Chains A and B, each alone.
Chain A
Amino acid sequence: AIRMTQSPSSFSASTGDRVTITCRASQDISSSLAWYQQKSGKAPKLLVYAASTLQSGVPSRFSGSGSGTDFTLSISCLQSEDFATYYCQQYYNYPLTFGGGTKVGI
């Protein structure tokens, strides 16, 4: 199975900050990567697919980049509603796998 490693696992930030989360795959997955946001007690929400394509309705302050094994999710100007946990997920092949998550706290 492809292993997905996120870093950092958690960090603190302030409103208005630019933040970057990294996801590394254990093998080349081309651009077969999605990013999700999850708030406490809620289902995950798709933010980005195909590594860099923003899902409809997602604010433009979110962006994704990368291909192969190294990927990043950036938030250009952190808003209060962005404090949450973020997960990457590869869909290059089965079994589908998620990263361990990155919690963005205040």
Chain B
Amino acid sequence: EVQVLDSGGSLVQPGGSLRLSCAVSGFTFSSYAMSWVRQAPGKGLEWVSAVSGSGASTYYADSVKGRFTISRDNSKDTLFLQMNGLRAEDTAVYYCAKDRGNTAGFDYWGQGTLVTVSS
């Protein structure tokens, strides 16, 4: 059974940093690209970042480029999102999502972890 467990969200001050984690099981982690998708309160879904299965290629939304860094540890089946220079507009539930394969949609999602940026 595939499991995706994201964690690490909390209340942080503007300009602060936070690291999200996503632990997975039930599939060959290194064979699939992974993404982070966020949802601000009462708003729609926004893709944030993706990383290839090997970790060699990374992609970012313009809204987080230069502030967020995605990475993965294939030996520990874990995905990360390092978030620096946080802003109020980064407040959202962050979901970890598994690529179906060939970047064809996300077939498994974490339960979401809430990041609140406020003083």
* Residue A78 is within 8 A (CB to CB) of chain B in the complex: no
Q: Is B1 an interface residue (CB 8 A)?
A: no
Cβ A43 vs Cβ B45 within 8 A: no
Selected from A34, A46, A96, the residue in CB contact (under 8 A) with B50 is: A96
Chain B, 42-62, CB within 8 A of any chain A CB:
44-47, 50, 59-62
Question: Nearest Cβ distance between residue A18 and chain B, in whole angstroms?
Answer: 24
Q: Chain B interface: which size bin?
A: 20 to 34
- Count of chain A to chain B residue pairs whose CB atoms are closer than 8 Å in the complex: 58
Whether the Cβ atoms of A98 and B111 lie closer than 8 Å is no
Q: Is the CB of A44 within 8 A of B62?
A: no
Among residues of B, the one whose C-beta sits closest to the C-beta of A89 is: B105
Q: Name which of A1, A36, A94, A101 has the most chain B CB atoms within 10 A of its CB.
A: A94
Interface residues of chain A: helix, strand, loop or mixed (majority): loop
Closest B residue to A101 using CB positions: B44
Other-chain residue from A43, A49, A55 in contact with B95 (beta carbon distance below 8 A):
A43
* A69 on the B face (CB < 8 A): no
Closest to A98 in B: B45
CB distance from B115 to the nearest CB of A (A): 16
Instruction: Assign chain A's interface to a size class.
Output: 20 to 34
Which residues of chain A from 10 to 66 have any CB-CB distance to chain B below 8 Å in the complex? 32, 34, 36, 38, 43-46, 49-50, 55
Interface residues as binary, B59-82 with A (CB distance below 8 Å gives 1, 0 otherwise): 111100000000000000000000
Which residues of B sit under 8 angstroms from A44, Cβ to Cβ? Answer: 37, 45, 95, 106, 109
B107 partner residues in chain A, CB cutoff 8 A: 46, 55
Chain A residues in the interface with B (C-beta under 8 A): 1, 32, 34, 36, 38, 43-46, 49-50, 55, 87, 89, 91, 94-101
